A and B are shown apart, each in its own frame.
Chain A
């Protein structure tokens, strides 16, 4: 029986009907005809289920022809009404996942149906249709992250709660007094309001300090201070504060970073609230603070090893809960910083160190605060010998110390660096002058090895000790590079050699090496182009930041790159980081050693599409570098 019959007038009529709505109105006639030739038309009486939630990947792409279809969960307020011309379920089809919502006909309705296979074929053919889908990349990205959560069967609303603004979490008006208030009155006010802290402000309600109950014990009760003492003499001055619009997540990060339990909220420079760790714990039963406290109280390497494991567990947990990559990597870095600092504390406590100035520096991803779950250590030492100090003797002492620290870090879950980029390597335990000479050599030579070193070392960040030494080195480096356009050019040429693995025919160009066949290297091909690009832009703009997102932001402003471009790059970078974290998370759950080699076939269609878009962004960033610095 022949089925090749075509009815041109029916096809034309269908095309004409579709054309009344976007994106079909914009599509090329041949694509629209192709689509119309594959459409089915189905009827759904009011109340009929069009698509069942969790019924496997959808078979059809739907366009409402007439009537209305409702999509929604159990809650009545979350129902979305889809009218004529609207398409569904876009996200589920792209991701190849079951729809999250049930779709029901609200009234008697007809829908056009296109098979999932034809939908994907259309996506490939029609740039307009594809753009229509990818234009919603942000909202799709959100869905992708939500899917991560459901994948690990965790409550979806937790991330949303972390995104809540602090002011919405503030349970009560802040208790505040002026600086001259006697302690007795301030403590009475705290007691009456049953709160653990009091904010101190000036007459204009600008915050001056904070006093917590814990402070009262150590600063008032134990020293036996008279209660008529003005509160300003015992308060913690210069309190840490956040704007009221900041999110719970930012508050958690800030508390973790500063090891504090209370934060002031300010609006227009005036005190607007006080938020405590307890308030945040109420919305999030996770213990960044617990780990921070455990690290601070750790008396031996075993305690730090436990903390190291806790950090990994917490990171996995937060990842599973759908925390964003940028927050998570920063949180991991912050906690790792705490751990490293405590470890150094413990190690130098056991040593007799000379009175020289020195600073422990974090390099590479740790320097950029972009650590993933698979992180080895990259560190170095800078020191300034005092008058009469013998440099070599001092170096030997510091190297001995560094060796213990490197081994300690190894024991805590940060493997020794395979390339020996560690402070215990005499090559990387240098005086201020030696570092300058070293950096100068790299900048002047500009060979492949020098450029590789520069890419690791120029992301240095002080972690312990005399931070000023690292800060001065940073200032010197920034000035030095400003006068060396040739070096920027060489760095750019080197960075441009790392081409994003976008294929002409297939989606991606895959590695065929024996060890990791059919994979993409998400670090080398994924995040590296962004990291390298941001470094070049930051160095060119003379900006001191080391984090990639921060670098892009700072340099973008200085170099007048459009905000939208910067935002796209940042988003793309964070997406790749998220993929890396998810990949490593999965590997660790399966008992494998985490790496960065991902088989793209294991990604959903949606994630593949976004990854492709992220690579395109890398290409755009590289195009800008080529234009500005390669010549």
Chain B
């Protein structure tokens, strides 16, 4: 089918990549009625070449999974994406991705396939999830011609709802980490930020359970309630 909004280029995939993509498209999505504790969460952080997720190139993807309430530190995902053009100097200072690193990454298509296979359909969690979701969606569409599906939850939205007392003082991930006394190491690699977000998410999951939020659906409802409340 032809996507009406298609900004996507015509994509031709190598046969094995096409096969992998087909398998991914056929894979099941998580059931929203699944209890929170039984979900396999994929906590994501991406780095881009700028602040516009629609336009700026995706530089790297980091992700860790949470299963049975535990972050699998050893099983994290990390990939740098090969860049045609090197990003601006300012961003290198933020991400620490030097020019040579940017050039040496993995081809976008295979990096994204690897990520999708690692993710296994989510659900996905990120801090300011809209940004990560968009950056990934754009890159997926561009490199694979795929509208990347998945349920996303935004830790930046959920955190103030579960910890209203802290909401006023906390804006950034660092604020929340500090407010909830989460010690984290080696920030500003995508996967380390994902690990930091995952630690926040463990605390949020625990707080949600205490507030009788039991399933993925109920967690999503909580996030929507915020929009209606105009918070």
**Total residue contacts A-B, CB cutoff 8 A:** 98
Q: Is B132 an interface residue (CB 8 A)?
A: no
Q: Is A315 an interface residue (CB 8 A)?
A: no
Kindly state the separation between the CA atoms of A42 and B66 in the bound complex, as whole angstroms.
Answer: 9
Q: Is A476 an interface residue (CB 8 A)?
A: no
Please, which residue of chain A has its CB at the minimum distance from the CB of B70?
A40
Per the 8 Å Cβ criterion, residues 28-59 of A in contact with B are 36-43, 45
Per the 8 Å Cβ criterion, residues 59-80 of A in contact with B are 65-66
Q: Is A17 an interface residue (CB 8 A)?
A: yes
Which residue among A5, A8, A45, A110 has the maximum number of chain B CB atoms within 10 Å of its CB?
Answer: A5
CB within 8 A of A41: which of B114, B192, B199? B199
Q: Is B225 an interface residue (CB 8 A)?
A: no
With A2-B114, A2-B117 already in contact, the answer to whether A10 and B202 are too (CB < 8 A) is no
CB within 8 A of B191: which of A2, A7, A65, A108? A7
With A5-B78, A40-B72 already in contact, the answer to whether A13 and B186 are too (CB < 8 A) is yes
Indicate with 1 or 0, residue by residue over B25-54, a CB within 8 angstroms of chain A CB atoms: 001000000000000000000000000000
Interface size for B (C-beta < 8 A) is: 32
How far, in Å, is A317 (CB) from chain B's closest CB? 46
Q: Is B69 an interface residue (CB 8 A)?
A: yes
How far, in Å, is A612 (CB) from chain B's closest CB? 29
Interfacial chain A residues near B78, Cβ < 8 Å: 5-10
Q: Is B108 an interface residue (CB 8 A)?
A: no
Which residue among B73, B118, B120, B186 has the maximum number of chain A CB atoms within 10 Å of its CB?
Answer: B73
Kindly state the separation between the CA atoms of A38 and B73 in the bound complex, as whole angstroms.
Answer: 7
Contact status A10-B70, CB under 8 Å: no
Q: Is B77 an interface residue (CB 8 A)?
A: yes
How far, in Å, is B209 (CB) from chain A's closest CB? 10
Contact status A43-B185, CB under 8 Å: no
Contact status B183-A66, CB under 8 Å: yes
CB within 8 A of B73: which of A1, A10, A66? A10
| A interface, size bucket | 20 to 34
Contact status B74-A38, CB under 8 Å: yes
How far, in Å, is A31 (CB) from chain B's closest CB? 14
Q: Is B76 an interface residue (CB 8 A)?
A: yes
Kindly state the separation between the CA atoms of A40 and B195 in the bound complex, as whole angstroms.
Answer: 11
Q: Is B189 an interface residue (CB 8 A)?
A: yes
Q: Is A11 an interface residue (CB 8 A)?
A: yes
Q: Is B75 an interface residue (CB 8 A)?
A: yes
Kindly state the separation between the CA atoms of A38 and B70 in the bound complex, as whole angstroms.
Answer: 12
Q: Is A3 an interface residue (CB 8 A)?
A: yes
With A41-B199, A43-B69, A43-B203 already in contact, the answer to whether A110 and B75 are too (CB < 8 A) is no
Contact status B202-A43, CB under 8 Å: yes
Which residue among A2, A14, A37, A41 has the maximum number of chain B CB atoms within 10 Å of its CB?
Answer: A41
Contact status B186-A37, CB under 8 Å: no
Q: Is B180 an interface residue (CB 8 A)?
A: yes
Contact status B189-A9, CB under 8 Å: yes
Q: Is A16 an interface residue (CB 8 A)?
A: yes
Q: Pull 29 A–B residue pairs with CB atoms less than 8 Å apart, ordered by A.
A: A1-B27, A1-B118, A5-B75, A7-B77, A9-B78, A9-B191, A10-B62, A11-B73, A11-B76, A12-B186, A13-B189, A13-B192, A16-B186, A36-B74, A38-B74, A39-B73, A39-B74, A40-B71, A41-B70, A41-B195, A41-B202, A42-B70, A43-B203, A45-B203, A45-B206, A65-B183, A108-B181, A110-B182, A110-B183
| 10 A-B pairs with the lowest CB-CB distances in the bound complex, closest first | A7-B76, A7-B78, A13-B186, A43-B202, A37-B74, A40-B70, A41-B71, A9-B189, A5-B77, A7-B191
